[in-house]
Amino acid sequence: MRRRPTLTRLLATAALALPIALPATPAVAAPPAPTRQLSDVIPAPVETRPDARGTFTLDPRTVIRTAPGSTDAWRVGHQLADTLRPATGYPLPVLPVHATPLPEIALLLGGADARVGQQGYQLDVTHRGVTIRANTAAGLFAGTQTLRQLLPATIEAAHRQRTTWTVPGGRIIDHPRFAYRGAMLDLARHFHTVDEITAYIDLLSQYKINYLHLHLTDDQGWRIQIDSWPKLTTVGGGPGTGVDGAGPGYLTKADYRAVVAHAAARHITVIPEIDMPGHTNAAQSTYAELNCDGVAPPPRTDMAVGYSSLCIEDELTYRFVEDVIREIAAITPGPFLHIGGDEAHATTDEDYRTFMQRVLPLVAKYGKRAFGWNEIMQVDPPTDVVAQYWGTGTTNADLAEAAARGNKVVMSPANKAYLDMKYDPTTRLGLSWAAYIEVRDAYDWNPAQRVTGVGEQAILGVEAPLWSETLRTLDDIEYMAFPRLPAIAELGWSTTTSHDWESFRTRLGAQAPRWRLQQVDFYPSPQVPWT
Ligand code: ACM
């Protein structure tokens, strides 16, 4: 896909885009019919009240006005202007709120319907303009992503289009079902560059995804700079690492900070994962002292799992783990730090418990809240630890007990939410150990009815992991994520009452012109009526 301009670049150019004189008012004509309806959006909004009299048409005089005194709202205004300027060719200056007769898109803090909460928004469209109200900049940002989808698809074009830029009239009141809507990239099996990660972030943000989980370490590679153990990246992430030796590379701390900042500008929080005590061959083949016998195993570039384990009885292991957690926590502004814990088949149950009882307090010591794959619930961790369920079954006693104790769960069932599973046996990329996952399979499940005893109250949200054993490029990522990522996004955001496959597949089909303009390499599923 092509790269969109970065926030930094757009902030630098925004001042230059201010018009010296506003163009003359065009003659008043009958308003054109909008091409979109309020309910065409993905994820489906909570409430839409169309008003056919209220069609708004963006024109060369339109201004964006943002809540006074809020840098955050001003930033959202500039991001919106950056999104709308290329295709419209309009100046769209971002100005403080002010009573004028100009058509406007107003981004206001406060005054929204009480239901919108901390992440939702209210969007009102009349013939005079669009008003988005929210309690937070994140809510305003979500509202602007809805507005983007309410405009004709050609709004995504990189160059000026001759179109009438209609927005359908009425009101949307919208807020998420779950606070957490995540996606995951696996940098270990094949490294993904900062440009690839930020391009994915841009796509995620259109569907109101608000967490990006980065799987930074595994048997085949270590992908994040750790100053106190420098060979982790130069050796563990160096040439020849990754599946088939074809995925070398790592994020410097500056790279990681750039990713975190790019995500934050789109109201997405990064969750770093350091997988342990298994999935650690890259570290253990780099540093011999991390092995109980003091002998470094050879590097591994195959796809096997479950053979590595940190040395549970060695104090050096905990010095290593604490160094890593301390350094990662220091560059992670978000509240969560993921410590993996999956598939530790080379660690005994007793050792696994010993290890987690040493390591969980280290996460807390550096001010973070621990995430772990669902196996971590075996150790009855404190109730602030979040379990990420990746199983394929509908029962899991440890998870149900944890939910009953008060632990929160993020649902990523591998046979529904794993974006690296093939769509069908003919899919060129991906794996199939959990399932073939066609679009309808990804959409037709309920996160709060997936595992017995893990109901709505226990669910923090949903996440769509994308493992990269078979993926190389951004095009590969896009092909596996689209169109299933929007399905998972809708499960996380929209109400169960709006859950409807026929509606979803129609709305999904209408996204295709946008993806083509964004050069997203999506899978043209035969289940979807593509337009
Ligand atoms: C996993 O797929 N091993 C979390």
**What is the spatial distance between Cα 531 and Cα 529, in angstroms, rounded to a whole number?**
6
**What is the spatial distance between Cα 463 and Cα 227, in angstroms, rounded to a whole number?**
30
**What is the spatial distance between Cα 357 and Cα 341, in angstroms, rounded to a whole number?**
12
CA 390–ligand 1 middle distance (angstroms): 6
Tokens of 162: 């001759």
Probe target for ligand 1 pocket from 189, 280, 343, 388, with the most ligand atoms within 8 Å of CB: 343
42 residue type, one letter: I
Q: Where are the beta strands (DSSP E) in 51-175?
A: 56-58, 63-66, 94-96, 104-109, 121-126, 129-134, 165-167, 170-174
Probe target for ligand 1 pocket from 342, 392, 418, 433, with the most ligand atoms within 8 Å of CB: 342
- pLDDT above 60 (res 121): yes
- pLDDT above 50 (res 85): yes
* Banded pLDDT at 1 (limits 50, 70, 90): low
Tokens of 264: 């934050």
Residues 296-313 pLDDT 10s:
999 999 999 999 999 999
Question: Rounded mean pLDDT of 50-66?
Answer: 96
**What is the spatial distance between Cα 399 and Cα 414, in angstroms, rounded to a whole number?**
15
Angle between helices 315-330 and 349-365 (to 10 degrees): 40
Closest residue CA from atom 2 of ligand 1: 390
- Pairing outcome for strands 221-222 and 459-466: unpaired
The residue among 290, 305, 308, 285 whose CA lies nearest residue 238 is: 285
Bridge partner list, 48: 172
**What is the spatial distance between Cα 36 and Cα 232, in angstroms, rounded to a whole number?**
51
User: How much is the pLDDT for 442?
Assistant: 98
The number of residues making up the chain comes to 531
Probe target for ligand 1 pocket from 390, 412, 418, with the most ligand atoms within 8 Å of CB: 390
Kindly report the backbone phi and psi dihedral angles of residue 141, in degrees, each rounded to the nearest multiple of 5, phi listed first: -60, -45
Residues 216-227 pLDDT 10s:
999 999 999 999
CA 371–ligand 1 middle distance (angstroms): 13
Helix (H) or strand (E) holding 404: helix 397-405
The residue among 213, 177, 178 whose CA lies nearest residue 418 is: 213
Kindly report the backbone phi and psi dihedral angles of residue 242, in degrees, each rounded to the nearest multiple of 5, phi listed first: 95, 170
Residues 2-30 pLDDT 10s:
444 444 334 434 444 444 444 455 455 56
Are the beta carbons of 465 and 213 closer than 8 angstroms? Answer: yes
Question: For the chain, what is the total number of helices (H) and then of strands (E)?
Answer: 16, 19
**Ligand 1 atom nearest residue 279's Cα:** 3
% residues pLDDT > 90 (the chain): 92
CA 389–ligand 1 middle distance (angstroms): 9
Q: What is the mean pLDDT of the chain?
A: 95
**Ligand 1 atom nearest residue 343's Cα:** 3
Top-confidence residue, 246 or 1? 246
User: How much is the pLDDT for 101?
Assistant: 81
**What is the spatial distance between Cα 214 and Cα 427, in angstroms, rounded to a whole number?**
25
- pLDDT above 50 (res 315): yes
Q: Choose, from 343, 438, 463, 469, the residue flagged as catalytic.
A: 343
* Banded pLDDT at 98 (limits 50, 70, 90): confident
User: How much is the pLDDT for 492?
Assistant: 98
CA 259–ligand 1 middle distance (angstroms): 23
| Residues having CB within 6 Å of any atom of ligand 1 | 342-343, 373, 390
Three-state secondary-structure class, residue 195? helix
343 has catalytic annotation: yes
% residues pLDDT > 70 (the chain): 94
Are the beta carbons of 241 and 299 closer than 8 angstroms? Answer: yes
| CB neighbourhood size of 8 (10 A) | 12
CA 527–ligand 1 middle distance (angstroms): 28
**What is the spatial distance between Cα 220 and Cα 247, in angstroms, rounded to a whole number?**
9
Q: What is the 3-state secondary structure (H, E, C) of 349-410?
A: HHHHHHHHHHHHHHHHHCCCEEEEEHHHHHHCCCCCCEEEECCCCCCCHHHHHHHHHCCCEE
Contacts with 71 (C-beta within 8 Å, 6 or more apart), sequence order: none
Predicted TM-score (pTM) of this structure:
0.94
- Residue-wise DSSP of 259-305: HHHHHHHTT-EEEEEEEESSS-HHHHHH-GGGSTTS-PPPP--S---
- Residue-wise DSSP of 16-31: GGS-SSPPPPPPP-PP
Terminus-to-terminus CA distance in the chain, angstroms? 20
User: DSSP code of 128?
Assistant: T
User: How much is the pLDDT for 18?
Assistant: 42
User: How much is the pLDDT for 104?
Assistant: 96
Closest residue CA from atom 3 of ligand 1: 342
**What is the spatial distance between Cα 259 and Cα 32, in angstroms, rounded to a whole number?**
41
**What is the spatial distance between Cα 76 and Cα 81, in angstroms, rounded to a whole number?**
9
Phi-psi region of 155 (alpha: psi -120 to 50; beta: other; left: phi over 0): alpha
- In order of their start, the domains of the chain are 7-27+36-174 (3.30.379.10), 180-497 (3.20.20.80)
User: How much is the pLDDT for 30?
Assistant: 66
**What is the spatial distance between Cα 160 and Cα 162, in angstroms, rounded to a whole number?**
7
357 residue type, one letter: Q
